[in-house]
Amino acid sequence: MKKLFAILLVLSLALAPLCSSLAEDILGQPFPDFTATDTEGNAFTLSEALQDHEAVLVNLWASWCPPCEAEFPDLNEVYAAYRDRVAFIALSCEPDDTLEVIEDYRQSHGITFPMGRDEDQALIMYTGSDGIPTTVIVDRFGNAAFFQIGMFENAGTIQAVLDKFLGDAYTETAVVEHP
């Protein structure tokens, strides 16, 4: 396990400059409105989610990805605490992950937030990311305000990032770099 952690740490440090240049391309820019069907058959539309929430966390992942799997318990914890203020959607960008595969994964891992597919890999291609998990936080103005390739360190880190976009003091898009 320590060896895997060391490898992931080295990879994340190597990807840091790449993440920075990708982030410059989308951060502060309007994130494309999208609609995805979740595993329960519900339509999730970004613009509609922003009508009822202060931000949207979009997590791009795949069922074969160990860092994605490792991150889900933290995302689940934060979703439980923030679900009234932040909409969550996890979209698999793996073409072989059908809604049935995703639902089985969701159930077996106890994930409570909506999950679906990144149809035609449109969002992962838009971000320019070549790694997963990739997380984008879209602020209340519909702009990409946070972008990260790789997993979050822990639930506290996710909360610290989300807190920057919540509340009455957030009156214009502010790009947040890695925590």
Q: How confident is the model at residue 3 (pLDDT cuts 50, 70, 90)?
A: very low
Give yes or no for residue 17 having a pLDDT over 70.
no
Residue 34 — pLDDT band, cuts 50, 70, 90? very high
Q: What is the pLDDT of residue 18?
A: 41
Q: Are 65 and 35 in contact (CB under 8 A)?
A: no
Question: What are the C-alpha distances in Å from 49 to residues 23, 35, 132?
Answer: 23, 10, 23
Task: Calculate mean pLDDT across residues 94-115.
Answer: 97
Dihedral through CA 163, CA 165, CA 171, CA 175, nearest 10?
120
Average pLDDT over residues 84-103: 97
Whole-number pLDDT of residue 22:
54
Q: Which residues, other chains included, contact 72 with Cβ-Cβ below 8 Å and sequence gap of 6+? A: 90, 109, 111
pLDDT at 173: 94
Asked if the model's pLDDT at residue 179 lies above 50, the reply is yes
Supply the pLDDT for residue 10: 36
Overall pTM surpassing 0.95 (yes/no): no
- If you ran DSSP here, which 8-state letter would residue 62 be given? -
Reply yes or no on whether the pLDDT at 19 is more than 50: no
What average pLDDT does this structure show over 121-131?
A: 94
| pLDDT reported for residue 177 | 79
